[in-house]
Structure 1
Amino acid sequence: MLQERLLRFLSICVLLGIIVFSGLNQQFHIQRKNGSLTAVEPRNSSGGSSSDCGPIPRTLHYTFSSEHAYSNYKEFVSDCLALNPDWQVYLWRDADAERLIKDHYPDFAAKFASYRGDLQKSDAIRYAVLHRFGGVYLDMDVKCLQPLFPRLKSYAAFVDRERWEQSINLFGMPLLMMNSAMGSAPGHPFFKYVLEKLKNMHGHIPLWTTGPKALTGIYYNWLSSQQAKQASAVKVLPSQVFSGSVDQSNPGLWSPCKKYPPEFGSRTPSETERHKLAAELSGFDIDRPDTHRGRDLRRMACASLALTNWRHSLHDNRTVGLHMYLHLGYGFGASRRGPKFNLLTSFPRIKLYSTAAGNTTAPC
């Protein structure tokens, strides 16, 4: 009788164990790599809706068409790797990007294939990489000035922001988000949301279809979405963190200032002129629309640029890196391109997607 009860008890335990394991296997894909099992991603491809995202992993991502990049970038990549010695570093080439999209974002594959230029593909893959693996993405022309952590460690997701003077003078926008520096915990739904919205962006101009203007519009839509209400916040970084400088190569930055008094376009305003400029800006805050009433925002931008002598970068204790605006990927930047070098042989720490599988951490 006792043996019969014991057998029944053991049978129930085994059955419960099977049920629990089956439930876990439904929640996670299990992948065997190098003899170990790794939870890769929840079956819910939206990336989850929990408000508790895990930490951003110590993984740095770069993109380029191949492992042969312009030598202009070598110093910047070297600085970032040296300041973050315990980080994994991945390079996403065109072939790697296509494979990642095919493997894990097949519903985006047709849109990705429709992109004509490298710039659109480079924009799109960074959103997929951050959603899938998490970490920090940087353009290769971002010069690191201090380690990425601890400054960026507390965020579940973040995006860079252009200096307001530049976004006002070039685009008439008080806020323009930059995809030159972004970060995320694995599976944060914002970056999956970006990919979904990119499907509806038509045309072949990167700025509008995959780049900063597209990202900014998608972010504002995200704020009112159901996903945003359930997810950890996306932090828009102050421009001083990565984009404290301005793009001196773009004449659109200073040409609007010609219609204002000379001090607004001066690279070296006198003390009297500086007092006038400061008076113009008194009480003004680009992030407070109530201070914009009755003001010409381009006039404010020109006054602010003149006060910083135009070429001055806004560095402070928040500054992690500096976006250098080399624009080597554009046709107009071709004359500035240096000879190419091999990223993989110059920096053996850099890995490719073939070794990235299984390196994810717990998703949102």
Structure 2
Amino acid sequence: MSKLKILKSLQKDEKMEVESDGEASHASDEESSDSEHEGMDADQKAEEKKRAVLWTNRERVLVLCSRGADVRTRHLMNDIKVLMPHAKGDSKLDRQKSLVVINEIAEMKNCTKILYFESKKQKDTYLWMSNVENGPSIKFLVHNMHTMMEMKMSGNCLKASRPILSFDSRFDEEPHLMLIKQVITQTFSTPNHHPRSQPFFDHVFSFSVTPDLKIWFRNFQIVDESLQLQEIGPRFVLETIRIFSGSFDGAVLYDNPDYESPNAKRRAIKLASKGKYIEKELHKKANLVKAQQIKEVIAEKMEDPVGEIFDVKEEPETEEAQKILAKIDKKKKKKKTFKKPKYTGPEAV
């Protein structure tokens, strides 16, 4: 065997050894990466299982509005969706449909609570807060809506953090306010260990009752360790109209006796302006009658009670009187004044 053949065979053997070593190292790397991925997947699955076990409160809220809602209402609805990580949206509901249809939509979306913004005449906004399963449902009239973009407050919070719900002490004084407190708590509180939520409390939902039994909603940020509050928004006022035993139906549990519909208020304003118009027209007629009476008095011929003593239209009879009258009527002649010529300087020689 020649030397060349021996060298070629040795080179082939070396190449085969190098390739086998490379394949072995690549296989070992793949095995190690697969084991790492399997370990990561196992950890993630374990965490998900833990959260699934701890996530016992599976409340979801369906948030939607009626067709024809104005811009402010839609922006307020979007702000509430952002603040509630357990909220789900849906397309606008036609006003011709019955409100009971919303229960079916909520069941399809696996939602147990409903927030429905109903707009009428593009002026009045009503908020329905309902429990799908057994009720109750509450109808509010919304006043003084202000969105986050409109207010531009200095406060800020995490997008999916959990809120602290703060209620006024007056919620515990009357039965219907106690019921409203429970419905608000179940609707606005973010469930613990919710997949979309973050385990932090950095803002407060404040619900306070005014002397006229209206509910004010405000959202504040908790500033670091100082525990100071800075308002974030949005801000709105709820006036209770009725509370029903079922979801959008059922017996009336509470009816607000002091509630006055916006249509009735607008009608009262129109009637007041109508009264002003009638009063103005009556005043015009009285002025016309008075002016007519004055004209009649002026047109009526009356005898001169003084007589001929001060009748100056007749010419005087005596010559002396005529001379005096001529002097009075005589026009004064203006005196002729001669103006001096203006000085134009010395004459040229």
TM-score by length of 2: 0.34
The higher-RCO structure (CA 8 Å, 6+ apart) is 1
Q: Which has the higher strand share?
A: 2
The structure having more radius of gyration, on CA atoms, is 2
TM-score by length of 1: 0.33
